[in-house]
Amino acid sequence: MTDAAPKIVLTDLHKSFGPKRVLEGIDLSIGRGESLVVIGGSGTGKSVMLKCILGLLRPEQGSIRIDGEEVVGISARERDRVMRKFGMLFQGGALFDSLRVWENVAFGLIQGQRMKRAKARDIAIEKLAQVGLAASAGALYPSELSGGMQKRVALARAIATNPEIIFFDEPTTGLDPIMADVINGLIVKCVKEVGATALSITHDMASARKIADRIAMLYKGRLIWVGPASEIESSGNPYVDQFIHGREEGPIQMELRA
Ligand SMILES: Nc1ncnc2c1ncn2[C@@H]1O[C@H](COP(=O)(O)OP(=O)(O)OP(=O)(O)O)[C@@H](O)[C@H]1O
């Protein structure tokens, strides 16, 4: 559950690319230990928002606070320190093909924390077990695994350093619905075990419903609805309603045609 001081606070965040305004005033507070999922159509700015928090993009206006600390405009060195709080599961897994599975999982421990290989390997094997993979899988290369197994490895890597905050970027893309459900279940379990705050972006509603405590919907540069996952069916918001039911007809399509 969450406690009083929020982990991440976005205030009046704006990000444009030339004349294209992508984020036009995002306000969002994510509690400690909370799992928040941002939904929204393609190109609405979900990745841009995540990249702003990760420091990969710099917003031209607004504030991003992590544990109360302003991170917009901090130095590269300070950014490295803040980044150590983060774990990340990238869209598509983004595993290193030339490294064995265990080396992928241990990457942040060896490279980021300068941990000895033997110790990092033990932790990697432990994390692989947490996502349901046998120690023997650690010796394989990613190309020898199915897509679902690769996602498990990516999840093991995301939790390897016991991060305080984990970002999930489209965690179920490319998986069949059953494997997606398995991965969603593992995400919930692992986030709880690590005690992390989770921020995910997806357009997979089954995933959002399963992993979110709260859901926020991004549309036209703003969060048009934020609320408990259990209340999204009764949001009373026609944009949300259309999106979550995947209806062709509704206000979103009309504006796309314009
Ligand atoms: N580096 C960039 N330079 C210029 N425009 C960009 C850049 N990054 C993103 N955009 C634009 O910002 C908008 C939002 O992109 P973003 O990738 O955040 O969408 P998204 O909601 O994550 O979409 P999807 O669900 O398809 O991944 C898009 O119109 C995109 O073209």
CATH number at 20 reads: 3.40.50.300
In a domain, 51, yes or no: yes
pLDDT number for residue 258: 44
In a domain, 99, yes or no: no
Task: Work out the pLDDT band at 3, boundaries 50, 70, 90.
Answer: low
Task: Tell me the CA–centroid distance for residue 44 and ligand 1, in Å.
Answer: 7
Q: How far apart are CA 56 and CA 50, in angstroms?
A: 9
- 3-class secondary structure, 95: coil
Task: Work out the pLDDT band at 254, boundaries 50, 70, 90.
Answer: low
Q: What is the rounded average pLDDT of the residues 56-71?
A: 95
Task: Tell me the CA–centroid distance for residue 46 and ligand 1, in Å.
Answer: 8
In a domain, 121, yes or no: no
Distance of alpha carbon 223 from the chain centroid: 17
Ordered alpha helix ranges (H), 113-237: 117-130, 147-159, 177-194, 205-211
Give the model confidence (pLDDT) of 5-40 as tens digits: 899 999 999 999 999 999 999 999 999 999 999 999
Task: Tell me the CA–centroid distance for residue 119 and ligand 1, in Å.
Answer: 39
Give the model confidence (pLDDT) of 147-205 as tens digits: 888 988 998 998 898 899 999 998 888 888 888 888 899 888 888 888 899 999 998 88
Does residue 43 have its Cβ closer than 6 Å to ligand 1? yes
Q: How far apart are CA 175 and CA 206, in angstroms?
A: 12
Does residue 248 have its Cβ closer than 6 Å to ligand 1? no
In a domain, 134, yes or no: no
Query: Which residue has the CA at smallest separation from atom 6 of ligand 1?
Result: 17
Task: Tell me the CA–centroid distance for residue 90 and ligand 1, in Å.
Answer: 15
In a domain, 11, yes or no: yes
In a domain, 61, yes or no: yes
Give the model confidence (pLDDT) of 106-127 as tens digits: 998 888 778 899 999 999 999 9
pLDDT number for residue 222: 94
Task: Work out the pLDDT band at 132, boundaries 50, 70, 90.
Answer: confident
Q: Does residue 253 register a pLDDT over 70?
A: no
The sign of the CA dihedral 92, 93, 97, 98 is positive
**Which residue type sits at 33?**
G
In a domain, 179, yes or no: no
191 contact partners, CB below 8 Å, separation of at least 6:
35, 166, 198, 211
H or E element: which one contains 165?
strand 165-169
Q: How many domains does the chain have?
A: 1
Within a 13 Å sphere around the CA of 186, how many CA atoms are in the beta-carbon half?
27
In a domain, 254, yes or no: yes
Q: Does residue 214 register a pLDDT over 50?
A: yes
Give the model confidence (pLDDT) of 78-98 as tens digits: 998 898 899 888 776 688 999
pLDDT number for residue 182: 85
Does residue 22 have its Cβ closer than 6 Å to ligand 1? yes
- Entry pTM: 0.90
Copy the structure tokens of residue 3: 């406690």
Q: Which domain holds residue 62?
A: 1-85+165-172+197-258
Alpha-carbon separation of residue 248 from 177, 184, 205 (angstroms): 22, 27, 16
Q: Among 94-98, 120-124, 208-212, 223-227, name the one with the lowest average pLDDT.
A: 94-98
Residue of 15, 17, 39 to test ligand 1 pocket, by largest number of atoms within 8 Å of CB: 17
Query: Which residue has the CA at smallest separation from atom 29 of ligand 1?
Result: 43
- Phi, psi torsion values for 87, nearest 5 degrees: -120, 155
Task: Tell me the CA–centroid distance for residue 256 and ligand 1, in Å.
Answer: 16
